[in-house]
Amino acid sequence: MPVFLLKRLLNAAGVMLAVAFLAFLIFRFVGDPVELMLNEQASQAQRDELRERLGLNKGFVMQFATFVGNAARGDFGISYRNQQEVFTLIAERFPATFELVLVATFLSLAVGIPLGVYTAIRRDSFPAKLLQFVSVLGVSLPSFALGILFILLFSVTLRWLPAFGRGEVVQLGWWSTGFLTSSGRLALILPGITLSLFQITLVMRLVRAEMLETLRADFIRFARARGLPARAVHFRHALRNCLMPVITVTGLQIGNLIAFALVTETVFQWPGMGMLFVQAVTFVDIPVMAAYLIVVSFIFVTLNTLVDLLYAFVDPRLRDDAIAGAANAR
């Protein structure tokens, strides 16, 4: 087990280093922040001075080494644009993104699981077929289009829900939450649905497939034969056996949601990490862009590693493979 653990951790560290390098490499070609940071009046001497101050005239290897060394300590430098610490900037925006992702995850489970069960049990009924069809639409409709449609319908025409922003937020230590005010909760609805729609269809299709599989199993037939009510068979016996893969996928999808929140956040002016990234792109704020990529990759890598470790914990065969050096063959 310790060997396996070490191996997974080294793997994760390797991936992070590669991401850091890619992030850094890409941004070498993004452009020159100096031209965007100074105004029309600045002279050549000031331009050169700023370039020097930002360390842009140092060699590539030097810049990368400094970057990785600092990033490992959680120091992503200072934003070119507003000269605040990048880490603080990201930490400030994280609660907004996280709460949005939380709502989207909750919605995807609360709506996706019942729909999945329904479409599995009544697989031949018209509503179930319609749901299957609509779910294809849900997967293929881009979330920005959906967001704008929602805004047009619920904000402009009906005026029920706010079109942008987080509403009033309450500060709990360094965490800002929108859950505690009514305007904050209202503001979560539209972006939450927009972000969750893809997940809802994913969960629904996953639950449906698993349910269909399980309903064919012997123990279900025995349960039916014993004369248990359909309700008990479906929910207590069948569904419970389907939930493990759903939970795994949901866990892995949280990383995706954080990354893809970027689009939803732009449409709804949601002050989260995605917005921060988009703003950083406009201003060629390289430290912020690099830090964002690394933070999001870090969340991905951590979730994946945790899932791997949990699996290994549950299933000893994986561990034995790892010790035999065949972990990659599975």
d(CA 78, CA 65): 16
Decide if residue 19 touches other proteins (CB under 8 A): no
Map residue 127 onto helix, strand or coil: helix
d(CA 202, CA 135): 8
Show the tokens assigned to 94. Answer: 């994280």
Of 56, 91, 141, 148, the residue at the interface with other proteins (CB under 8 A) is 148
Smaller CB distance to other proteins: residue 59 or 227? 59
Decide if residue 170 touches other proteins (CB under 8 A): no
- CA Rg, the chain, in Å? 24
Smaller CB distance to other proteins: residue 42 or 121? 42
Smaller CB distance to other proteins: residue 138 or 147? 147
Q: Tell which residue, 267, 256, 130, has the closest CA to residue 194.
A: 267
Decide if residue 57 touches other proteins (CB under 8 A): no
Show the tokens assigned to 93. Answer: 């925006």
Of 5, 22, 38, 121, the residue at the interface with other proteins (CB under 8 A) is 38
d(CA 101, CA 262): 11
User: Which one-letter amino acid corresponds to residue 304?
Assistant: N
Task: Select the span of 40-48, 130-138, 197-205, 224-232 touching other proteins (CB under 8 A).
Answer: 40-48
User: By CB under 8 A, what part of segment 59-78 binds other proteins?
Assistant: 77-78
Of 2, 59, 124, 159, the residue at the interface with other proteins (CB under 8 A) is 159
Q: Please write down the long-range contacts of 176-182, taking CB distance under 8 Å and 24 or more positions apart.
A: 176/92, 176/95, 176/96, 177/95, 177/99, 178/96, 178/99, 179/99
Of 239, 257, 276, 296, the residue at the interface with other proteins (CB under 8 A) is 276
Smaller CB distance to other proteins: residue 54 or 68? 54
Decide if residue 184 touches other proteins (CB under 8 A): no
User: Which one-letter amino acid corresponds to residue 29?
Assistant: F
d(CA 189, CA 241): 31
Show the tokens assigned to 178. Answer: 């929108």
User: By CB under 8 A, what part of segment 217-246 binds other proteins?
Assistant: none
Of 14, 31, 316, 325, the residue at the interface with other proteins (CB under 8 A) is 31
The binding site for other proteins (CB under 8 A) comprises: 30-32, 35-47, 49-50, 53-54, 77-78, 81-84, 89, 92-93, 148, 151-152, 155-156, 159, 162-166, 169, 176, 266-269, 271, 275-276, 278-279, 281-282, 284
